[in-house]
Amino acid sequence: MYKTLLLATLLATSTAQAADGQALATAQGIAHPAVIAHRGASFDAPESTTPAYLLARELGADYLEMDLQRTRDGVLVVVHDDVLARTSDVAERYPERKASPVSAFTLAELKALDAGSWFNKAYPERARAAFKQQRILTLDEVIDIAEGNPARHPGLYIETKEPAQFPGIEQDLKKRLEARGWLDKPGRVILQTFDRNSLKLLHEAMPQVPKILLLWVAKGSIEPASGQDFSESGEQDKSAFYARQQPKDRAEFERWLDYAKADGAIGTGPSAVRTHLGEQSYSDLIQPWMNQASHAKGLLVHVYTLDAAVDYDKAMKAGVDGIFTNRAGELMRFYGRPVPQNEGQLLRKLGY
């Protein structure tokens, strides 16, 4: 009897929570649960390049996720890292500038880089000859991709990356989105940032556009219970370190939810631990109480970045409203949504 009651209570709680998140998303014109293609379909193609975004679009992802930076000559470009060494041949082409930030290069200089061959070397089992010599993309080029198939309508999920390096980037972004007609489309653009100041500036520039405050456990962000950052810990394994980190206490976590609301966000983007740890596995900020607290404050929850069914399942059961994933096709299949062809077939059809 007790077990039956407990089960009924748990089911009711989880259903009520899902309904809350769904209502919050629907009110903003946001898909629920959302498939957010992290740097494009970046498991199957070099991150943030044309094949990655084309594949994400063709798979039916709700949003193309991207990290926004600005070139020395003022063009908005889509690159994740502060420096270019991991995802390009900068060390060969500009050896003396291999540790320079993206902001030190003109667009023409960035366009001379090969942003695809690194993927073939890092992931030989997923390598394709046509990935060689892929180019870094501008924001406008990603918008072209989003608009490029009348049968597919992915939205844009744009992060201001290291915004303190790029004063005025929030206004620059507004100008481009306005010029391209994307500010009149409710829920088609979501803006995201880890930086509270950038969130405020995004909100001032584009009050009507939904915004997400990304959450992270570290000193200066959500304060860790351990009082330590990775660099001070003496640990070798980053993901094992992050997996042990948790907010100092419940009040600290809730303080960040309050910051999100106060600064204009409609939701949060918390990190998560992957079952198998590794790259892109961070701290567990999607415990059910955390998602309940977010929903109770009227905030949506989009978790980053999960790629395996076991983790999609855990996240959905914990009550999130959408998932950043490098494997948009896997998440679509997990949700039971139609995928026209598999990733290999689609890449071939797209010419890769």
Query: Which positions are catalytic?
Result: 38, 80
From 38, 70, 274, 314, residue interacting with ligand G3P (rule: CB under 6 A) = 38
Residue 269 binds to ligand G3P (criterion: CB under 6 A): yes
Q: CB-wise, 190 or 318, nearer to ligand G3P?
A: 190
The values of phi and psi at residue 314, to 5°, are: -60, -45
Q: CB-wise, 114 or 162, nearer to ligand G3P?
A: 162
Residue 214 binds to ligand G3P (criterion: CB under 6 A): yes
What does each C-alpha distance from 156 to 94, 200, 241 come to in angstroms?
A: 31, 19, 32
Residue 126: alpha-carbon gap to chain centroid: 22
- Inter-axis angle of helices 139-146 and 169-179, nearest 10: 40
DSSP letter assigned to residue 338? -
From 87, 198, 305, 326, residue interacting with ligand G3P (rule: CB under 6 A) = 305
Residue count, binding to ligand G3P (CB under 6 A) = 10
SS3 state of residue 97? helix
Which string of DSSP letters, residue by residue, matches 32-80?
Answer: SSEEEETTTTTTTS-TTSHHHHHHHHHHT-SEEEEEEEE-TTS-EEE-S
Instruction: Compute the least distance from the CB of residue 161 to Ca ion, in Å.
Output: 7
List b or e across 78-93, with b for residues whose CB sees 16 or more CB atoms inside 10 angstroms.
bbbbebbeebbbbeee
Q: CB-wise, 242 or 304, nearer to ligand G3P?
A: 304
What is the spatial distance between Cα 290 and Cα 254, in angstroms, rounded to a whole number?
8
Binding characters for Ca ion, 54-73, by CB under 5 A (x = yes): -------------x------
Q: CB-wise, 47 or 109, nearer to ligand G3P?
A: 47
Residue 105 binds to ligand G3P (criterion: CB under 6 A): no
- The entry of ligand G3P, Ca ion, none near residue 269 (CB within 5 to 8 angstroms by kind) is ligand G3P
- The entry of ligand G3P, Ca ion, none near residue 174 (CB within 5 to 8 angstroms by kind) is none
What is the number of the residue whose Cβ is closest to ligand G3P? Answer: 304
Instruction: Compute the least distance from the CB of residue 208 to Ca ion, in Å.
Output: 22
Which string of DSSP letters, residue by residue, matches 166-231?
Answer: STTHHHHHHHHHHHTT-TTSTTTEEEEES-HHHHHHHHHH-TTS-EEEE--BSTTSBPBTT---HH
Q: Considering only residues 51-80, where is the footprint of ligand G3P by CB under 6 A?
A: 67, 80
Amino acid at 55: L
Q: CB-wise, 63 or 253, nearer to Ca ion?
A: 63
Strand partners, 159: 67, 192
Q: CB-wise, 84 or 214, nearer to ligand G3P?
A: 214
From 87, 88, 192, 325, residue interacting with ligand G3P (rule: CB under 6 A) = 192
Instruction: Compute the least distance from the CB of residue 282 to ligand G3P, in Å.
Output: 8
Residue 324 binds to ligand G3P (criterion: CB under 6 A): yes
Residue count, binding to Ca ion (CB under 5 A) = 2
From 20, 159, 307, 311, residue interacting with Ca ion (rule: CB under 5 A) = 159
What is the spatial distance between Cα 21 and Cα 27, in angstroms, rounded to a whole number?
10
From 304, 312, 334, 352, residue interacting with ligand G3P (rule: CB under 6 A) = 304
SS3 state of residue 30? coil
Give the start-end residues of each E strand in 71-167.
76-78, 137-138, 155-160
Residue 159 binds to ligand G3P (criterion: CB under 6 A): yes
Residue 307 binds to Ca ion (criterion: CB under 5 A): no
Q: CB-wise, 224 or 269, nearer to Ca ion?
A: 269
Number of helical (H) and strand (E) elements in the chain, helices listed first: 15, 10
The contact set with ligand G3P (CB under 6 A) reads: 38, 67, 80, 159, 192, 214, 269, 304-305, 324
The contact set with Ca ion (CB under 5 A) reads: 67, 159
